[in-house]
Structure 1
Amino acid sequence: MTRGGRIKERETAERRCIVTGEVQPKAGLVRFVVGPDNTVVPDILERLPGRGMYVSATRAAIDAAGRKEFARAAKAQVTVPADLADEVERMLVRRVIDLIALARKAGLAICGFEKVKAQLDKAQFDSRAVRVLLQADDGSERGKAKLWTPTGARYFSCLSSEELGFAFGRQSVIHGALSAGALSDHVVEEASKLRGMREDDGSQGTAGKDIEAR
């Protein structure tokens, strides 16, 4: 199955959030499993073995998922780290940065105001020119307002200029854009989760501080 096919399958597959009880697409949930020491661990890539437990990808939901909810879902006594939501945020930051970096290497990502503006102009005639518009959360609002999000594209401002810089191999980046492709679809999915983790408390916390440039 192609990457695009896997994305579509994930968007249609549904799971129940152990906190809210709502059934929703897996794309909007974070998977957790119980490790060998009975500690709850995030499974951002959804590859770890064990019974999956799903929580809505928001800081409020993960903070509310205490030992009782996880123990009920796991049908066993578990330990829930006090900084579980922070760890999820850190892992999502790394995941989004890695995906943007892969998109850059695949020729799907650009950065810099003038380059992004030119790509947006192109998007008026080619809808695949811009799938995702990325702007640093700590960038100038005046500067960011000069760029527009094409119809059908997604806009994210959930990374700092330093974090976005890591993705492009630079010290800092304010403006970035990804053209259409399977990797860009992955960015949309993971960035949506990261935005949910960061919007609840109105800050970016400590996530991303330990990231090393590649």
Structure 2
Amino acid sequence: MSDPVRTCILSREEAPREGLIRLALSPDGEVLPDVRAKAPGRGAWIGVDRAELEASGKKLRSALSRAFKTNDLRVPDDLGQRIADQLQRAALDRLGLEFKAGNVVIGGERIQNAARAGQLHLLLHASDAGEDGAGKLAQAWRVGSDMEGSGRKGLTLPIPRTILSLALGRENVVHAGLTDPRAARRVGDALDRWLHFIGPDPASRPCETGSQGASAFPPGGSQNTTNSTEGL
């Protein structure tokens, strides 16, 4: 069954709801992010990134008033930050669930073994990962997936190892690898929504450490991250 299609209230472009962000109206009239799309009542959907959202000004309020069919609403000044925080939490929660299910390996040796055996479907690095360590794992992944010479590196997340470790409930997690293709796709989709929204703005992504993007995701998975670059 295909995902239901929704329309972004700002761009008016249509997209599957799983790729958009839902906004909900609280009982006291405050517009709040509902990235898991579970809040009751009428919702409004956006597909723009944070920079576009924060530059929309009066257009956003007008679009929200039409979507919620009321002028009695308040748009918080930090709506963009709240959305980014929820998307980060959703992505890390998904990664944590997959870890508990046994679909994530951590530790350089375990990841390297899985990669060389052709069992790695998504490779993630903390923003403060060393280039040497990340490079060795990426090389093993390229060898194991028969993609030598492709430049494939995996995805460097805009969070340090302290946050990645907290998400997995382990200490000093610098790299993580997904060994189940469906789990990799689920994590890739959650990361895709987060990275698309926060965009390439250095103020939003202070931990960016070089080129990364869609080729870090499994084939057939997420391919629409705003920060994607060719040649990974």
For the aligned pair, the TM-score class normalised by the smaller chain equals 0.7 to 0.9
User: Residue 170 of structure 1 aligns with which residue?
Assistant: 170
- Using the alignment, how far apart are the partners of 2:65 and 2:77 within structure 1? 15
User: Residue 156 of structure 2 aligns with which residue?
Assistant: 157
Residue 45 of structure 2 corresponds to residue 54 of structure 1: yes
Identity %: 28
Give unpaired runs (5+ residues) of structure 2: 207-232
Partner of residue 35 from structure 1, selected from 26, 33, 38: 26
How far residue 192 of structure 1 moved from its aligned partner, in angstroms, is 0.7
Secondary structure at 1:176 match in 2: strand
CA RMSD of aligned residues (A): 2.6
Residue 131 of structure 2 corresponds to residue 141 of structure 1: yes
Tell which structure's C-alpha radius of gyration is larger.
Answer: 2
Question: Counterpart amino acid of 2:123?
Answer: L
TM-score (normalizing by structure 2): 0.73
- Equivalent pairs counted in the alignment come to 192
Residue 68 of structure 2 corresponds to residue 74 of structure 1: yes
Q: For 1:1-214, list aligned pairs within 5 A.
A: 9-10=2-3, 13-56=4-47, 58-65=49-56, 66-77=60-71, 78-123=73-118, 129-148=119-138, 155-158=154-157, 159-180=159-180, 182-204=182-204
Give unpaired runs (5+ residues) of structure 1: 1-7, 124-128, 207-214
How far residue 138 of structure 1 moved from its aligned partner, in angstroms, is 2.5
TM-score (normalizing by structure 1): 0.78
How far residue 143 of structure 1 moved from its aligned partner, in angstroms, is 2.7
Greater relative contact order: 1 or 2 (C-alpha under 8 angstroms, separation 6 or more)?
1
- Using the alignment, how far apart are the partners of 1:173 and 1:57 within structure 2? 32
- Using the alignment, how far apart are the partners of 1:203 and 1:164 within structure 2? 20
Q: 1:204 to 1:115 in 2, by over 3 A?
A: farther
Contact 1:32–1:54 at 8 Å: present in 2 too?
Answer: yes
Deviations, residues 25-56 of structure 1 (Å, cap 9, x unaligned)? 22321111111111111111111111121111
Question: Counterpart amino acid of 1:196?
Answer: H
Moved more, 197-206 or 110-119: 197-206
- Using the alignment, how far apart are the partners of 1:141 and 1:28 within structure 2? 32
